Amino acid sequence: MSIPPGFEKRSAVTSLGTMAYYTATGPLWQRPADSSATEALPALVFLHGFGGGSSSYEWSKVYPAFAADYRILAPDLIGWGSSDRPERNYRIEDYIKTIIEFIEQTCSEPVRVVASSLTAAFTIRAAIARPELFQSLILTTPAGLSDFGENYSRSIFAQIVSIPILDRLFYSAGVANPAGIRAFLETRQFANPNRTYDEIVEAYLESAEQPGAEYAALSFVRGDLCFDLSLYIAQLSVPTAILWGRQSQFTGPEIGKRLARMNPSAIRYFEQLEDVGLTPQLELPAVTAGLIRRFLPLLDRPAAE
């Protein structure tokens, strides 16, 4: 997987295995006056979403823009990318727990977290369970995929991968090959298919072809990781901003607006992005970075300001 210049891979051990993560090292991102300044910077964690071949690559065009001002941590979640991929049927609690464990092991103060899609929904639940670990949240398309009573498990994808043998055929034919990845990105994930380029496809393919990568992906497609975020969102107390692509095919912005209206004291900002699908960080990384930079200081202010 392509690693941005000045970043290197490190690891943290969780209860489900080792999580690889990427962080800035070396002279490129250090402040000239103090070679140890990077360690004193506040932490900014980027968490990728779920889908065949997902990994921290999803944020790799965004997080270098913050490396001069923050200690960047961009992990591959358990089951994805370069992290351990234990052979198991993954559950919601697995990811809430390992997100918390990763933050506990790598950060000594409350952190600012940027997270995507279903992982963003898990992050909300982690912040509800352990609010003292979080300074603020900036979330792109946070949805549990079964929100407001919707049942994702009834979808055609979930039905297919619930059938033994067919699940592996689905993965090999629809996920772990370049044509399947490109087709999904162009028709389902991106609003504009022209924004899909070879490097994105190759990064997704590299992650999807890792031994054991199918377990987390199939748990996701089967619906084992989906839940109704509307049952939890009112409990969130951490200051939050939400970005939502208007062309998101899985969950449209009306879902996001309904969720935001349920907790206006915590969800301070909701920004709908035109001509963007599920992952603005891949389609329009510069715009996404600009909005993150806009919201970070706003969320640090007391709510009355």
Q: What is the mean pLDDT of residues 117-133?
A: 98
Specify the amino acid at residue 45.
Answer: V
Q: What is the mean pLDDT of residues 121-133?
A: 98
- What does residue 31 show for φ and ψ, rounded to 5 degrees? -80, 130
The domain 7-300 having CATH identifier 2.60.120.590: the answer here is no
What residue ranges do the domains of the chain occupy?
A: 7-300
Helix (H, G, I), strand (E, B) or coil at 77: coil
The answer, yes or no, to whether residue 38 has pLDDT greater than 80, is no
pLDDT of res. 278? 95
Strands 240-245 and 111-116: unpaired
- pLDDT bracket for residue 32 (50, 70, 90): low
| Contact call for residues 284 and 273 (beta carbons, < 8 A) | yes
| Contact call for residues 138 and 225 (beta carbons, < 8 A) | no
Say how far apart CA 284 and CA 286 lie, in whole Å: 6
Residues 6+ apart with CB under 8 A from 217: 50, 51, 52, 53, 54, 79, 171, 175, 208
**Where would I find the H helices in the chain?**
37-40, 92-106, 117-129, 156-161, 166-174, 178-184, 198-208, 213-222, 253-261, 280-283, 285-300
